[in-house]
Amino acid sequence: MKFFLAQLNPIVGDLDGNAKKILNLADTAYSNSVDMVLTPELSLWGYPAKDLLLKKNLVERQYTLLDQLSVSIHKKYGDLSITVGIAEKIDDSFFPNLYNSIVLIEGGEWKTIARKIILPTYEVFDEKRYFRSEDKVSVISKKIKHKTYKLGITICEDLWVNENIEGRGIHKENPISDLKNKKIDLLLNLSASPYTFKKLELRNKISSFAAKYLQVPLVYINQVGANDDLIFDGNSFIVNKNGSKIKQLKSFSEDTSCWNINENLNLEVENKCSEISSVFDALVLGVKDYAKKCGFRSALIGLSGGIDSALVSVIATAALGNENIYCISMPSKWSSKHSKIDAKDLVQRLNIVLKTISIESIMSSFEDSFIESINFKVRGITDQNIQSRIRGTLLMALANQEKHLLLSTGNKSELAVGYCTLYGDMNGGLSVIGDLYKTNVFKLCNWLDSEDSLERRKAYKLNTRVKIIGDSIRNKAPSAELGPNQLDSDSLPPYSLLDKILKGIIEEKKDLQLLEQDGHSKEQILKIISLIKKAEFKRKQAPPILKLSSQSLGSDWRVPIAISN
């Protein structure tokens, strides 16, 4: 029995376009004499479809498309079978009234062959809002050349049942255990599993465990591409019954491959990219797909000469090409000479456009207007925020007029403690590095300037002759330059300390006592906790944040604004 593994990048809600993509696959699969094409979870909808699943017209449209696909595939490709992920309607009066299902198209018809059992409701997942759980495992029989194969089918989370590996606790259901006595020949897992730090390693372990436990090969098909704040890395694979990987598809790009169940493949040497390389690839794909799927061809960045905007400029250039990146420098009277030079040097290395708009006269007009109109003298943090908001207004005007995607350049450390300005540096359509702590921004920039990144830079057509970020940008003390000789350390603890406490609070959910046991002072912890709470209203108004960690400050951060300090 020969399979065609199809690692797809669907557009959420574009049922017609996604159906066409699946139909186009059939031609390649047929030319390779395969028996069954495997596509990811909800491949007809794209994942996550969110409240689009509540639109009755779309649910009905999918059935029309399934009928059309079934007829077209049978007419052109005979007995070829294709799995498609759909939202199956349940005809009763209860809600939710959908299953997350897999259908099999073959013989000019289609039928449901699997329904998802475990519906995740952690991090970004909210599947119980839309779907009901199936209560039994799915096994189908396929007769190929006088031999019948029994295929077990699981959908994404149905595979994640080993508490010792995935660490979230025991599910009430255990599809892998339930399959033990079904005497299957092969386990399929059709997924839409987003990228996060260490996810690739966990996915390999959980799949290896299932294959060894059931003593059958496992085929894992994953969605690829970015949808809003989520990035799907692909990395589909096959492991043998001993849990060893025998085939690996590409990371962060669409890919296909064929495999015969009777083919004894040699163990595949994994293309082990470093974690930091994967982070860069994920961010590039995140920007590329967000722009493409939202209809943008170019990006605009406020370039300060600091490390955050420098990193975002590199990511954007890799994602959209240097001819589509536009940077604006907006110096004030507090902007240092070296920052202006650093910004100019960076754009030369990236070969992108830089224009300068001085905001000194605009600031003066603001100050004069306040004094003349209401005898109000702008001071301190208010004066600093006005600078940031002037810059934000200029950037939004340019983005609006020229139809650029404005990219926000704030990092996770700043967003966490509110070291950012609403309607100023928080302006933008996408927060690129909002899930990277400042210390990780430095790590990623150090990697970009090392020889270890040369292969990736070459692949993205970035400059490989020189250090792309530059020593001057990487080595200077962080500063927003909103006041005389201002440094971030004037208001915040050193980032090496701050980020450890932030990670303990945000990702690890540690309380005061546990944080103190880690060696942090009570006074420092309480101050940071207070800053996080006070900044919640800002984060609720921030642009979408590309998710990299198990707990970003974006759509999976569900903390009330109005709570006690």
Cβ(132)–Cβ(98) below 8 Å: yes
113, 194, 535, 540, 541 from 561: Cα distances, Å = 44, 27, 8, 8, 11
- 41 as an active site residue: the answer is yes
d(CA 125, CA 194): 10
User: Which H/E stretch holds residue 70?
Assistant: helix 56-77
- 116 as an active site residue: the answer is yes
- 258 as an active site residue: the answer is no
Residue 478 tokens, joined: 């962080």
Computed from CA positions of residues 480, 482, 485, 489, in that sequence, does the dihedral angle turn out positive or negative? negative
Residue in this structure with the two tokens 């029994």, named with its chain if needed: 150
Residue whose C-alpha is closest to residue 11's, from 342, 390, 211, 290: 290
Pairing of strands 138-144, 147-155: antiparallel
3-class DSSP string for 521-554: CHHHHHHHHHHHHHCHHHHCCCCCECCCCCCCCC
The dihedrals phi and psi of 295, each to the nearest 5 degrees, come to: 90, 20
The dihedrals phi and psi of 13, each to the nearest 5 degrees, come to: 85, -10
Report how far Cα 390 is from the mean position of its chain's Cα atoms: 31
d(CA 19, CA 72): 11
DSSP letter string, 309-334: HHHHHHHHHHHH-GGGEEEEE---TT
Query: Catalytic residue among 127, 134, 142, 156, which?
Result: 156
Cα(first)–Cα(last) distance of the chain, in Å?
Answer: 62
The dihedrals phi and psi of 44, each to the nearest 5 degrees, come to: -80, -25
Phi-psi region of 524 (alpha: psi -120 to 50; beta: other; left: phi over 0): alpha
Q: How does DSSP classify residue 498?
A: H
Query: Catalytic residue among 41, 106, 414, 481, which?
Result: 41
List all residues 6 or more positions away from 116 whose beta carbon is below 8 Å from its beta carbon.
Answer: 41, 99, 100, 101, 127, 131, 133, 134, 155, 156, 157, 158
160, 394, 420, 421 from 387: Cα distances, Å = 49, 11, 12, 10
In this structure, the dihedral spanned by the alpha carbons of residues 141, 144, 145 and 150, taken in order and rounded to 10 degrees, is -40
d(CA 394, CA 392): 5
Residue in this structure with the two tokens 């699981």, named with its chain if needed: 154
Residue in this structure with the two tokens 């490709």, named with its chain if needed: 77
| Amino acid occupying residue 92 | D
Omega before 494 cis (within 30°)?
Answer: no
Cβ(533)–Cβ(509) below 8 Å: no
Query: Catalytic residue among 21, 88, 116, 173, which?
Result: 116
Cβ(294)–Cβ(403) below 8 Å: no
Catalytic residue numbers read 41, 116, 156
